[in-house]
Amino acid sequence: MKESSKLQSEENKVSNDKNKKRKLKTQSQLFALETFYDEHKYPTEEMKAELAEKLRLTEKQISGWFCHRRLKDKRLMKDEAVANGRQDRSSGVIQDRGSGLGQDSCGSSKHADYRYLDAKEVESHDFYNNEISVADMTHRHRSHYPENVSAVDDTSSESSSFLQERAFAQGQDPYDMEPSRHLTPNGALPPLNPKGAVNLGYKPSGYLKVKGEIEHAAITAVKKQLGRHYEEDGPLLGIEFDPLPPGAFECQTEDPANETFCVANPPLLNSPEISAAKKHNLSSRYDSHYTKFNSQDLHVERADFGSLHESDFQDKQDKKARQNIKQRQPYYGYTNHVSGRNPFPDLYEDSTGEASGYNSAKNHRMSTKHGVEGMRSDSASNHSDHFEEKLAVKTKDLMLHGYDKINPKRIQKSGHVKSKPSSSIRSSRVPVDTEERGLSARMAKEEMIKVEQKAKNTYRDVDGAGRLSNEILVAKRAKVDMLQQYHVKPSPVAEMEKRKIHRSAAEMPSSFSEDETAETSSSLDY
């Protein structure tokens, strides 16, 4: 009795301590949260409840996390805008437009001018707007992501948009959101949650009315953000880039005509087919990161996969992984804090086998996700399912394409762009009046160097998990624009996928069938 009471008191003590002290989310929780956040920046109550239940967190924690996550996004956007705004001395208007985010994503932006649409608005419009058709969405995606045209499945933008949403996540612009998964069989977007719709109170008309203009404005804004310092067909005016190493921009394929989009193709970068020399050329400064990811790490992470429900072990692994993650940050960019985190541990940290349940369920979900039968009218379930799909896909993708892609928080500490204003950024916050008076020669030189470096990084840095950093996204989109302008033939993603699948077949765990692999790969437009 004494023993038990003692134990109990200790447990209470621990519990109290846990309650008292803030507790870091585990990797798996963060993974789930981030994944969910990628899709829904403003989850409904049902979503939160479901998420809370699955993650063993309180709804309050979920809400708080999302709130802080949005703030984080916003802060990052702001920092980036500040950094970019320094390049573009014109004004903050461009910054706001360029970021695609309103200054205040909650209050003011709800009724703000469409030019300041933020992720919230866009998402809400996408969710609640019943007037947007599949064709419309498809057109939107196609018209803006020509590189994926060949791989776009009309019946499901899930496959093609997976990368897109990753690549263009974080509410950069209205194209971020995946539309089709919310489509009903008749092509209309079902109301997600009447209450949520009411609460949010977004009227579709405004967005629809200006959609075209938004697209134009967003693209224009991005261009403008870059525009001061780049020409569409070359380096910045008056700036000469360092000569890139030979083959740095070459596609690692035998089809030079398709090299265009191989530049930032993560799988290729991580492909064993790429020689070490070329890898070095491509990302020499990140070599240390990749080499750090040694076999021991792989062993550990694979071991994680096999110990789904060992929470204690998980906590330790979480800590270790956090450490590793932060030490391995290969480059900056903030879009994905998820991918690098070990996706395999006890996903929801309970002992109910939920994680394995998701794994087993994914096959069915993946096999049916392209069909309308896989869609439910139940919005919460629908979102949840899709969320689970994504978790499964992400997990499997990591397995298929190697752990060396694992990369989490790349942003901070990189010395370029940090969540918080880096010292460089902070120090770069030159008073406007000073800037307006004109940059001194020295400042201009520094500016050029930074821009140059940025441009290089844009083409060099590739997220380990296949997501592109914000800057890459901007660059990529700008590149898409350029391609559209000059009718450059994009790399057929399908072809790349074929190669990737072929390559991955040797790497993938034997437990995965070819069909499964192909299916998975087809849903990932890396």
Partner DNA sequence: TTGTGTTTTATTGCCTCC
Partner DNA sequence: GGAGGCAATAAAACACAA
CA distance 326 to 180: 35
Structure tokens that stand for 345 in this block: 């541990």
Q: How many CA atoms lie less than 13 Å away from 195 in the CB half-sphere?
A: 7
Binding part of the chain for DNA, among 61-69, 184-192, 280-288, 352-360 by CB under 7 A, reads 61-69
Structure tokens that stand for 402 in this block: 């190697």
- Binder to DNA among 418, 476, 477, 499 (CB under 7 A)? 418
Sign of the four-CA dihedral 234, 235, 237, 239: negative
DSSP per-residue codes, 498-515: HHHHHHHHHHS-TTS-HH
Based on the shown chain and the rule CB under 7 A, indicate whether residue 276 belongs to the binding site for DNA: no
CA distances from 304 to 28, 48, 298, 325 (A): 11, 27, 10, 15
Nearer to DNA, 22 or 487 (CB): 22
Residue among 523, 466, 509, 473 at smallest CA distance from 100 = 473
Nearer to DNA, 423 or 434 (CB): 423
Classify the phi-psi angles of 201: left when phi > 0, otherwise alpha if psi is within -120 to 50, otherwise beta. Answer: left
Binding part of the chain for DNA, among 20-28, 137-145, 150-158, 388-396 by CB under 7 A, reads 20-28
Chain positions 41 to 60 lying near DNA, rule: CB under 7 A, are 42-43, 45, 60
Contact letters (x/-) for DNA, 376-395, by CB under 7 A? --------------------
Nearer to DNA, 322 or 401 (CB): 322
- Binder to DNA among 7, 14, 135, 198 (CB under 7 A)? 198
Based on the shown chain and the rule CB under 7 A, indicate whether residue 300 belongs to the binding site for DNA: no
Based on the shown chain and the rule CB under 7 A, indicate whether residue 70 belongs to the binding site for DNA: yes
Nearer to DNA, 70 or 182 (CB): 70
CB of 66 vs DNA, minimal distance in Å: 7
Classify the phi-psi angles of 349: left when phi > 0, otherwise alpha if psi is within -120 to 50, otherwise beta. Answer: left
CB of 26 vs DNA, minimal distance in Å: 8
Based on the shown chain and the rule CB under 7 A, indicate whether residue 110 belongs to the binding site for DNA: yes
Based on the shown chain and the rule CB under 7 A, indicate whether residue 68 belongs to the binding site for DNA: yes
Binding part of the chain for DNA, among 153-161, 338-346, 413-421, 479-487 by CB under 7 A, reads 413-421
Q: Are 160 and 178 in contact (CB under 8 A)?
A: no
Based on the shown chain and the rule CB under 7 A, indicate whether residue 166 belongs to the binding site for DNA: no
Binding part of the chain for DNA, among 211-219, 317-325, 358-366, 473-481 by CB under 7 A, reads 317-325
Nearer to DNA, 84 or 260 (CB): 84
Binding part of the chain for DNA, among 6-14, 226-234, 325-333, 480-488 by CB under 7 A, reads 325-333
Based on the shown chain and the rule CB under 7 A, indicate whether residue 411 belongs to the binding site for DNA: yes
- Binder to DNA among 63, 220, 424, 428 (CB under 7 A)? 63
CA distance 167 to 524: 11
**Radius of gyration of the chain from Cα atoms?**
23
Q: How many residues bind DNA (CB under 7 A)?
A: 47
Nearer to DNA, 20 or 487 (CB): 20
- Binder to DNA among 31, 36, 37, 65 (CB under 7 A)? 65
Binding part of the chain for DNA, among 104-112, 138-146, 299-307, 432-440 by CB under 7 A, reads 104-112
Nearer to DNA, 326 or 429 (CB): 326
Residue that has been written with the tokens 């429900």 in this structure? 309
- Binder to DNA among 292, 326, 450, 498 (CB under 7 A)? 326
CA distance 292 to 125: 43
Based on the shown chain and the rule CB under 7 A, indicate whether residue 322 belongs to the binding site for DNA: yes
DSSP per-residue codes, 169-227: TTTSSGGGS--GGG--TTSPPPPS-HHHHHHHT--HHHHHHHHHHHHHHHHHHHHHHHH
DSSP letter assigned to residue 465: T
Strands (E), 279-389: none
Binding part of the chain for DNA, among 37-45, 152-160, 287-295, 491-499 by CB under 7 A, reads 37-45
Alpha-carbon torsion, ordered 387, 390, 394, 400, to 10 deg: 140
Classify the phi-psi angles of 333: left when phi > 0, otherwise alpha if psi is within -120 to 50, otherwise beta. Answer: left
Classify the phi-psi angles of 304: left when phi > 0, otherwise alpha if psi is within -120 to 50, otherwise beta. Answer: alpha
CB of 44 vs DNA, minimal distance in Å: 7
Q: Which distant-in-sequence residues (6+ apart) come within 8 Å of 136 by Cβ?
A: none
Name the burial class of residue 334, with classes exposed (0-12), middle (13-18) and buried (19+) by CB atoms within 10 angstroms of its CB.
Answer: buried
Nearer to DNA, 78 or 370 (CB): 78
Sign of the four-CA dihedral 156, 475, 343, 121: negative
Binding part of the chain for DNA, among 99-107, 298-306, 377-385, 442-450 by CB under 7 A, reads 99-107
CB of 69 vs DNA, minimal distance in Å: 7
Structure tokens that stand for 173 in this block: 């612009």
- Look at the chain and count its residues: 526
CB of 59 vs DNA, minimal distance in Å: 8
Q: Using CB under 7 A as the criterion, which residues of the chain lie in contact with DNA when the complex forms?
A: 21-25, 30, 42-43, 45, 60-61, 63-68, 70-72, 74, 104-107, 110-111, 120, 198-199, 201, 319, 322-323, 325-327, 337, 409, 411-413, 418-420, 422-423
